[in-house]
């Protein structure tokens, strides 16, 4: 008797058993299923990856192995490049179909997926990529985009399978960080991954924390519990966006539900897909500007003094430095604070957005290329479509840390600076600043120079039709539905 045909489910940014279209499709065939995760050395070494990202994946793998094990087929984990791993597995089992979810990621993962598709074609293995996101492959027009997205989101959620027919392939160990040659980062706090944690976060969000959401979108203090904190789970798929959407609809239907807050949250879930679609439609924006006229605007490599000040949180602007240091130590901040530090890097320090974007990608535990690169470009003024948003770090401090609690926590050198001067410490004597530097640039002067440089490019492209062409291709300047932007 020959070996049975096996369905391989290749887990990537979908580390869950609930609402998992690829897993259900494989189980429904009735054949043995091999659930697989491949820890890829090339992605570990990728300049966007940091130890915190890998740790988050390892949390997810531990959880997933347990859940799949309870269903009959523990997660098989291998370290290696995907092509090599599949080749090796195909000496042990006959792979009939490879299932995965579509991934809207960086060039490296796109090229890897194409190589896997070619491998499958060459060996007569069916490769099925299932949808889990509102973004779409090969979209030719944005016209019906929202409708098509809602069609996917309104389909019933998929329960976890009741049981999975296993193969005889040994699960193999889940590597530790040190096995992968990666050193753990010294963090004050890191969000935990895994489906179980993701479900808890979603539960507390919708049952306890969501009221007043719109008031917490900016503050790095109240945002800690006043924002959903679901980004790490959405980025790694430990909770499906469809499930989040469905739970939001259910909550909205409850009497006395905080509809305004729920609508604001729902809007951001739509932005997530809107931006992923931008990266899918223009994958080059991971490296070059959406509008090519902005490509040579900033120097190709960063001024090293400015880049070091940025990465060490030593710019001399307390709110910028507090956010940068908190990101390095905790991996999370609010949308407004992410925008502010990006604006500071791109306008005040005139750093190439690719370099500051890479620093931030490595710090954000929730790094999600589909959101990250379009946002970095928007906040750096290189799309040719969006209004320039330049943040004044002093105003941001007064508005979003009025008590000084956040800045004093992360910039302890300012302990002796009186409250009235905490946003402008350069006005106190140097010995009261305990080594905290003078501002690296004069914000008003740096910003007016940046505006002049950007205006010159905007004038050059105005009327040449290139912006209109981009709008037609990418749908809108602003995410839909675009009632309001915080």
Ligand X SMILES: Cc1cc2nc3c(=O)[nH]c(=O)nc-3n(C[C@H](O)[C@H](O)[C@H](O)COP(=O)(O)OP(=O)(O)OC[C@H]3O[C@@H](n4cnc5c(N)ncnc54)[C@H](O)[C@@H]3O)c2cc1C
* Contact by Cβ (8 Å): 202, 233: yes
Q: How far is the CB of 109 from ligand X (least distance, A)?
A: 14
**137 — alpha (psi -120 to 50), left (phi > 0) or beta?**
beta
Q: Is 133 in the site for ligand X (CB under 6 A)?
A: no
Question: ω into residue 257 within 30 of 0, thus cis?
Answer: no
Alpha carbons within 13 A on the beta-carbon side of 480: 17
**463 — alpha (psi -120 to 50), left (phi > 0) or beta?**
left
User: Given the rule CB under 6 A, which of 40-48, 149-157, 264-272, 443-451 is the region that contacts ligand X?
Assistant: 264-272
Q: How far is the CB of 392 from ligand X (least distance, A)?
A: 16
Q: How far is the CB of 366 from ligand X (least distance, A)?
A: 4
Tokens in use for 308? 């070091």
Tokens in use for 205? 């969000």
Separation of CA 191 from chain center:
14
Nearer to ligand X, 391 or 436 (CB): 391
* Contact by Cβ (8 Å): 423, 411: no
In 29-81, alpha helices (H): 41-44, 51-71
Q: Is 338 in the site for ligand X (CB under 6 A)?
A: yes
Q: How far is the CB of 312 from ligand X (least distance, A)?
A: 19
Q: By CB under 6 A, name the one of 97, 167, 231, 354 that touches ligand X.
A: 231
Taking CB under 6 A as the rule, which mask of x and - marks residues 369-388 in contact with ligand X? --xx--xx--x---------
Q: How many CB atoms lie within 10 A of CB 459?
A: 9
d(C-alpha 10, C-alpha 484), whole Å = 39
Q: By CB under 6 A, name the one of 100, 132, 342, 346 that touches ligand X.
A: 342
Nearer to ligand X, 372 or 433 (CB): 372
Nearer to ligand X, 166 or 370 (CB): 370
d(C-alpha 58, C-alpha 56), whole Å = 5
450: burial class by Cβ within 10 Å (0-12, 13-18, 19+)? buried
Q: By CB under 6 A, name the one of 37, 145, 275, 353 that touches ligand X.
A: 275
Q: How far is the CB of 421 from ligand X (least distance, A)?
A: 29
Taking CB under 6 A as the rule, which mask of x and - marks residues 178-217 in contact with ligand X? ---------------------------------------x
Nearer to ligand X, 101 or 268 (CB): 268
Nearer to ligand X, 230 or 441 (CB): 230
Bridge partners of 5, per DSSP, are: 94
Q: Is 267 in the site for ligand X (CB under 6 A)?
A: no
Q: By CB under 6 A, name the one of 85, 206, 234, 239 that touches ligand X.
A: 234
Bridge partners of 11, per DSSP, are: 37
Q: By CB under 6 A, name the one of 103, 366, 392, 401 that touches ligand X.
A: 366
Residue in the block written with tokens 């570990």:
44
Nearer to ligand X, 38 or 227 (CB): 227
Q: Which residues bind ligand X (CB under 6 A)?
A: 217, 227-231, 234-235, 268-269, 271-272, 275, 334-335, 338-339, 342, 364, 366-368, 371-372, 375-376, 379
């Amino acid at each position: 008797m020959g070996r049975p045909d096996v369905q391989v489910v290749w887990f990537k940014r979908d580390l869950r058993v609930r609402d998992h279209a690829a897993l259900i499709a494989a189980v429904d065939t009735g054949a043995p299923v091999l659930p697989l995760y491949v820890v890829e050395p090339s992605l570990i070494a990728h300049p966007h990856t940091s130890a915190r990202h890998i740790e988050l994946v390892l949390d997810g793998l531990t959880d997933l192995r347990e859940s799949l094990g309870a269903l009959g087929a523990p997660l098989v984990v291998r370290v290696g490049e995907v092509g090599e791993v599949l080749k090796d597995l195909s000496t042990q089992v006959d792979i009939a179909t490879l299932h995965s979810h579509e991934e809207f990621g960086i060039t490296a993962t796109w090229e890897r997926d194409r190589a896997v598709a070619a491998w499958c074609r060459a060996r007569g293995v069916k490769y099925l990529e299932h949808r889990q996101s509102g973004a779409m492959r090969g979209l030719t027009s944005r016209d019906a985009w929202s409708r098509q997205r809602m069609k996917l989101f309104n389909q019933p959620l998929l329960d976890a399978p009741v049981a999975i027919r296993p193969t005889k392939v040994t699960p193999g160990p889940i590597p530790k960080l040190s096995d992968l040659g990666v050193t753990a980062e010294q963090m004050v706090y890191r969000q935990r991954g895994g489906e179980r944690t993701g479900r808890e976060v979603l539960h507390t969000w919708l049952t306890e924390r969501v009221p007043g959401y719109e008031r917490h979108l900016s503050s790095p203090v109240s945002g800690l519990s006043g924002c959903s904190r679901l980004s790490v789970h959405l980025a790694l798929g430990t909770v499906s966006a469809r499930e989040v959407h469905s739970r939001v609809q259910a909550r909205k239907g409850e009497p006395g539900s905080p509809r305004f807050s729920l609508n604001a949250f729902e809007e951001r879930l739509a932005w997530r897909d809107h931006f992923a679609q931008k990266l899918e439609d223009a994958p080059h924006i991971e490296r070059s500007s959406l509008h090519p006229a902005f490509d040579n605007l900033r120097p190709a490599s960063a001024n090293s003094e400015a880049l070091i000040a940025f990465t060490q949180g030593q710019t001399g602007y307390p709110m910028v430095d507090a956010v940068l240091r908190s990101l390095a130590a905790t991996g999370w901040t609010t949308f407004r604070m992410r925008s502010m530090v990006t604006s500071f890097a791109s306008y005040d320090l005139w750093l190439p957005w690719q370099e500051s974007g890479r620093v931030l990608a490595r710090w954000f535990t929730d790094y999600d290329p589909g959101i990250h690169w379009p946002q970095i470009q928007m906040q750096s003024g290189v799309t040719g479509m969006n209004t320039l948003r330049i943040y004044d770090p002093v105003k941001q401090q007064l508005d979003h840390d009025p008590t000084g609690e956040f800045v004093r926590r992360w910039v302890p050198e300012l302990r002796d600076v009186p409250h009235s001067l905490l946003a402008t410490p350069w006005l106190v004597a140097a010995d009261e600043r305990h080594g905290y530097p003078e501002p690296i640039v004069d914000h008003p002067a740096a910003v007016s120079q940046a505006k002049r440089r950007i205006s010159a490019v905007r004038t050059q492209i105005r009327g040449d039709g290139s912006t209109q062409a981009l709008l037609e291709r990418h749908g809108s300047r602003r995410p839909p539905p675009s009632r309001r932007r915080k």
